[in-house]
Chains A and B, each alone.
Chain A
Amino acid sequence: MTVPIQSGALISETSRHTLSSSRVRAPRGWMITTLAVAFIVCLPILSVLYVALFPEENIWPHLIDTVLPRYIRTTLQLLIGVGILTFVFGVTSAWLISMCRFPGRKLFEWALLLPFAVPAYVIAYVYTDMLEYSGWVQTGLRDWFGWQSARDYWFPEIRSLGGAILMLSLVLYPYVYMLSRAAFMEQSQSLLMASRSLGCSPWKSFWRVSLPVTRPAIAIGLTLVLLETLNDFGTVDYFAVQTLTQGLFDTWLNMGNIGGAAQIACCMLLFVCFFIWLERRSRARQKHYQSADRYKNLPRYHLKGLKAALATLFCLALITLGFLIPFYILANYAYQYFEQSFTSDFISHARNSFLLSGLAALATIAIGLILTYARRLNRHRAVRAVVAVSSLGYAMPGAVLAIGVLVPFAAFDNTLDGFLRQHFGVSSGLLLSGTLFAVLFAYVVRFLAVSAGALQAGLDQITPSMDMAAQSLGSRPTGVLFRIHIPLLRRSMVTAAIIVFVDCMKELPATLILRPFNFETLATHVHQYATHELIKESALGDLVIVGLGLIPVILLNRSMSSAKKGEQIQRL
């Protein structure tokens, strides 16, 4: 069965209004479930707000007088730098891969995803090891030129703001690449054909057609990048770059002022709200729905000579810098230290990481689906606001989020315990605190934005006429979800699940704070060495995190290319 869709329909504001008002109506059960889920997911954020509102001592006068302006300035510089670099890396490579032919394209198509498997703090360690004074690069240069000490020559300092921008961009650009490549491949062929037949050069049709049409996808990718950047702690800490996150931890751990730290976290949330507003705004004015002929392959520009060489070199450079070099260095250390590192404990840590991340990915997708579908069913402001707020967990540094989980869980446990003790003389102790459920919950809250973002983008591309057709054929909203949207969203769901899985594998601060007794994940296991600058001892663990991250990258690639063949439509 195929559903007739006007190809590449760009629907005007007025017609969209009539469409959405005649959409499938939301049944009450859905809305109640949605609100309940959203409320629970928002709890940690509300808790942080609560902690911020009742600090033990007002630290702001001191912060504003001394370090806060610098924290904010550095944070802005970092965000702008990473934003620009990931945009250039991600969009350029996605455009080259999806629209051009050049040597190595097929290989690069998936290899460009590889850096995604490398955690930012790992790449920071590896490059510092290589580029600092005693690293082989500078040692080699000194031998070559006969320099004696650091005072004889200039070499860029890797532990700097610029270094942090580069490190973060190298591992974060795949977000932009992934989302913009999917969008470039899904863009309406007829639009591009029209632009070409109207005399646009490839460059012009990129700027005037492809880029505007794929803007929502790029915006989502960039938003994810900026959020990751904002709450990165490992890299900025290692490079001593003074961002808001650093200030937050300083206020919390050195000044013992958790209220002040929560206030800085709220300050960071303002940044986040701004990004989200910007991203929403960028898509508010436009709607485009997928066309029936999207699965035909787009004719690609055939690059030759210098252009082809440049394209190949560009992709190769990204892969080498973002993946091959760190991977090689880690593999080398892991080999040297294999016997010390590979123990039976190590295997059980790996299993823990795998199970926990897998569960978190499933839960995150399920909840993401409930929320985004509710938003589609009911465009009421309140629903949209609730869905937006529930995504804020992504914007919080993991440790702050962990506090946000700790507060309501412990409050619930202790209240229940108090009640039972008072009335029944029994103690329930801690039911939620210090369990894996708490860790899992933190993961879901932390990464819900990733799944909701991807699912939202997928849902937005499904024309409302599908819903209407299904409704007129007698389907109820839940039926529409299971029979129309979930099959059509398969690709978005797989993508989202994979991203969440990999992110959970790398997650450190919340795991450290919330986990139960005698429980280690690979990330926490590696961390104990990393804090003592023992990069070699931690290499095997890092390598496994990177290696496991590769499996989803491969799956992701397969799902993306199989979907291209249009099997989903046929199955429908």
Chain B
Amino acid sequence: MKLKSNFKYIATPAKVFMTVLIVLVAVSILQGIILEIERTFRLSATIKPKAELTQEEKRLNRIRNSAKEFLPDGTIHLVYNLGYTPTRMGLPAREQIYDVNDDLLWEGPSDKRPFEYLSWAKQLRRYRDGFTREQMKQTQMITTEFSQNVRIPVRSDNKTEQIWRYHPGAKFFKGYNTSGEKIGYAGSTGFTDSKSKVKPFEEFRLFTAWCSQDSSNPTLLWQTQRHIYQIDFEKQQVKLIFENTEADIEIEGTSLHAWRDLKPGEKEYVDRRKYRPLLHCVTEDGKHHLLMRNPGRQLTITIPKAWQGWVNHYHRFTATKQGIFLSRTWTEFRKAPDYLQTREVLDRLLSDYQSKDKQRHVELYRLGTDGSLDLLTGYTWIVPARTGPVVRARDPRSAVQRGVAQFSSPLYDLAVRLLGRKFWLWAYSSRNMGDFFYSLARMIMDIQPYGGVINRILSALMMVFVFLHGWPRRTSWAKFAFWLVFAGLFNLAGLLTYLALNHTAVVKCPVCGRRRGLARFDCVRCRAELPAPERGKLDLILST
């Protein structure tokens, strides 16, 4: 008996928790289905053919969509890609080249282009040539085929001779030969044959790999929190190529140009006779670091304060044999310094941005030996305001999304508020895609009620329903009050949980004639006791 009562105190909350969890998931799945259907219809509505543009609108569109390229002397050309046509599939796309006065200079297939523009360091892209911290985390994800690991092969005569496996927990590589014997370890100080001598790398951030022209074994550029290494497993070398003791290196800021020794024809190939190998990275203190070879040099550039705070602002670097150049692209629309403090400020900024015409600029600078910037040339064009309605509501989501979210628990709002800025910034960042908590956070952001009045009214209605349903069935005031509050806090999910756990049949009270639950001994209204069954003639037990 004692065990039974003890279990009650654990089992009852467990029952409520389990039920509300299942119902919350079921309600959110239903909301998700409605939102996906709405999204599908919204997308198909947006790809309807638009009204015919005027000649001037077409011209502005073309300018906006053209790539702004620089000749080595600083002349700017606008390169407009006409795209592929079904009859020319497989052939290079056609393009038109205009000067800054909008005079057509040339038209033809892109591979026959008569101009050679400056090429720029490119950021390492996820999946193609960059392997990020998020991807490393995903290798640890448990799947039906277990987790994965990162292995680097060393080959000889088309045969794999060694495999170096990265251990994310220990932060070093462990090497094996084809007989399964351990051949050594690779860490931040180099290769060693003993575990006690290996010094781990810092927290992993990013790597990219390539095979140089004289080898079919990969070389790795390995970026950690504050260091960048180049690892050659074939020669068993770990070379420190960049170190910053003051601030962390930004994950998405690292770009390369002519750094990798690639063969002509490879997509990222850059002619090293014209360009110097360049590695560009950005540290979290806002400084840009350029590492060059032939001859080796390191340059740190502090971006002027006046350049900061503009929307869609980015820099690209290149180093030719003649000099080092910076291309700056920015939109004349200022971000408030605190635009990432709250979601409301960010949403307002986005809506303001969409509703106005903006000037966009591209500029070319030459870098001095001391990191000074000398403006060579620039070009400006207009980015028109977004056509169609710009949502200016407190809750910027579509009407269907707002409607669906009204049935969500108000606790989602509280959770988002308590988790704070870091949470929604994390949830907005697409680089977290693939993470379980990212999907969960996005779902909560999609269905949170956003403090809607209708949501509060619906919660109140759920409480009224629970009150009307629970009054004749109540067995204790505490329980009755708990379920009222519960329905208010969880909205539709709260009501369904309440019904799942509390619904009982009611009977008519023989004294007052009103409904009463079967779980009580007396009537909640007239206090009359439940009548005892009358003795019947065939009632053998009671009559003896």
**Chains A and B belong together in one complex:** no
- Chain B residues in contact with chain A, CB under 8 A? none
- Chain A residues in contact with chain B, CB under 8 A? none
